[in-house]
Amino acid sequence: MREWQWLGVAGSTLVAVGGLYVGVGPSGDAVQLPHDAVAAILWPTAVSYLGITLLLLAWWMIGRLRAEPAVLVRTGVMWAIPFAVSGPIFSRDVYSYLAQGAMTVAGIDPYRWGPQALGGEPAAHVPSIWQDTPAPYGPVFLRMAGAVTTLTQNELWPGLLGMRLLAVAGVALLAVTVPRIARECGADPSTSLWLGVLNPLVLLHLVVDAHNDAVMIALMCAGLLVALRHRPVLGVVLITLSGLVKGPALLGLAFLAVLWAGRLPGRFGLLRAASATLLLAGGTAIAVTTVAGTGFGWVPALRAPTRARTWMSITTDLGGLLGAREALWAAGLLLAGAITLFLLHRVGAGSDMVAACGLALVAFVVLSPVVHVWYLLWGFVPLAAAGSDRARGAVARASPVLVLFAPPNDAPTGVPMVLGGVLGTAAGLLVYHVVRTAGRRTALVLDTA
């Protein structure tokens, strides 16, 4: 266990070091590089991929050891420490969070205006594509981001640290809720913790890049947990708060309502549960929005992410090829809705509510206009905690592939970046082979002695 823990620490450290050069520091680069020089792209990318590969292999081997939850939590802390003071590496979203938080505090409506309306230091580091884009996030998150910018007085690096602390708090809540959900679903808590919290997808895309998805998923899982424990009212409130961070979490309310209906005595259980869920969710949303003072502009702003083009979106790729992008987007969302209805029926027949919710969220992401690897964690984390061995196996196999196909954001796509990735991955596999061979020889010597 110890050698894999420290191999993961080495991996995290190398990722952080490589991120100094090909990560996404303020206005693009933390360390200015001559991007026309092949070596300036190739070697930092190779270092990053060496670290990513070591982290993935250490994670995989620790999963085979079936460690106790406390050991896994300690391992996660060890692996996250090198990321504590690094800049973002795989995404620039955190700069938008800081600008939108500062706008909320300054009284500029972030649902009407983009960061360019704010100007100054917070907006200077937001990518140009998002400068005039309204915020697609709910009032809970905007007030959190506003609190960070207020406490840090709009200073950039303290602000980045503050946003990362919010993400770490979300991951810490997942470390509490995921194994408990697993127990409720009859799954192994250690395996669920390994897959849903220690997963390099979580560390690299929620912790490193301080994505607000960490808070969203954590609140959603907390709501699912209390609902499983026969506290549906609190569950509705928590999932609604999650949706007021990022809207897609509200899909969990449908699965909670069906679970609640199955536990109600008497007739019309689904109608009663659905009505109560809608009333509670609506009341919570109105109360929180009134207190936050931000309004409901985030609902129409949910289309804002479609301005980005991501190669992982099936509907966007096919729509572009066929010249019917909007039609393919609509068809994809309709198919995701049909899948969700089918899964809701399965829950009504006694299927695992958490697994069904996770599958519905994965379907929604895969068929949506914009797909980022960390979006898949919306469904992967519940699936990691659910009682389905097949679903957990699929998440375990998909996670390393997704990690490797999400390069550091500032590495220009091309031959040097690809070659650096291949060289770094190959070097990581070689290190893994050496470490594993040395471990086997040590074990053989000890057994002989």
Q: Is 188 exposed, middle or buried (0-12, 13-18, 19+ CB in 10 A)?
A: middle
State residue 251's pLDDT score.
96
In a domain, 52, yes or no: no
pLDDT top residue among 340 and 266: 340
* Residue 36 pLDDT greater than 70, yes or no: no
Average pLDDT over residues 98-114: 93
Nearest to 251 by CA among 161, 357, 344: 357
| DSSP codes, 227-259 | HHTT-HHHHHHHHHHHHTTSGGGGHHHHHHHHH
Give, as one character, the DSSP assignment of residue 204: I
State residue 418's pLDDT score.
86
Average pLDDT over residues 339-352: 85
Amino acid at 439: G
Nearest to 380 by CA among 133, 226, 124, 197: 197
State residue 30's pLDDT score.
43
Backbone φ and ψ of 25, nearest 5°: -70, 180
Amino acid at 279: L
* Residue 337 pLDDT greater than 50, yes or no: yes
In a domain, 265, yes or no: yes
State residue 150's pLDDT score.
95
User: How many domains does the chain contain in total?
Assistant: 1
State residue 348's pLDDT score.
72
* Residue 181 pLDDT greater than 70, yes or no: yes
pLDDT top residue among 436 and 283: 283
- Residue 439 — pLDDT band, cuts 50, 70, 90? low
The top-scoring range by mean pLDDT among 293-297, 345-349, 383-387 is 383-387
Entry pTM: 0.93
- For residues 18 and 399, the answer to whether their CB atoms sit within 8 Å is no
274 Cβ contact list (under 8 Å, min separation 6): 257, 261
Which residue range forms the structural domain that includes residue 338? 88-294+309-412
Give percent of the chain above pLDDT 70.
92
Backbone φ and ψ of 387, nearest 5°: -90, 10
* Residue 349 pLDDT greater than 90, yes or no: no
Nearest to 202 by CA among 218, 219, 222, 224: 218
* Residue 38 pLDDT greater than 90, yes or no: no
In a domain, 142, yes or no: yes
* Residue 1 pLDDT greater than 60, yes or no: yes
* Residue 21 pLDDT greater than 60, yes or no: yes
State residue 364's pLDDT score.
96
* Residue 256 pLDDT greater than 80, yes or no: yes
In a domain, 325, yes or no: yes
Task: Render pLDDT for 223-232 as a digit per residue (tens, 0 to 9).
Answer: 999 999 999 9
In a domain, 262, yes or no: yes
Give the span between the Cα atoms of 25 and 420, in whole angstroms.
20
- Residue 31 — pLDDT band, cuts 50, 70, 90? very low
Lowest mean pLDDT among 20-29, 49-58, 256-265, 295-304: 20-29
State residue 124's pLDDT score.
86
| N-terminal to C-terminal alpha carbon distance within the chain | 21
Backbone φ and ψ of 28, nearest 5°: 120, -55
Average pLDDT over residues 433-448: 67
Give the span between the Cα atoms of 171 and 160, in whole angstroms.
17
Write down the mean pLDDT value for the chain: 90
In a domain, 35, yes or no: no
Give the span between the Cα atoms of 46 and 408, in whole angstroms.
11
- Residue 158 — pLDDT band, cuts 50, 70, 90? very high
* Residue 302 pLDDT greater than 80, yes or no: no
Structure tokens, 278: 């809608």
* Residue 19 pLDDT greater than 50, yes or no: yes
In a domain, 387, yes or no: yes
In a domain, 232, yes or no: yes
- Residue 413 — pLDDT band, cuts 50, 70, 90? low
Residue spans of alpha helices (H) in 112-155: 120-124, 139-151
- Residue 213 — pLDDT band, cuts 50, 70, 90? very high
Average pLDDT over residues 362-382: 95
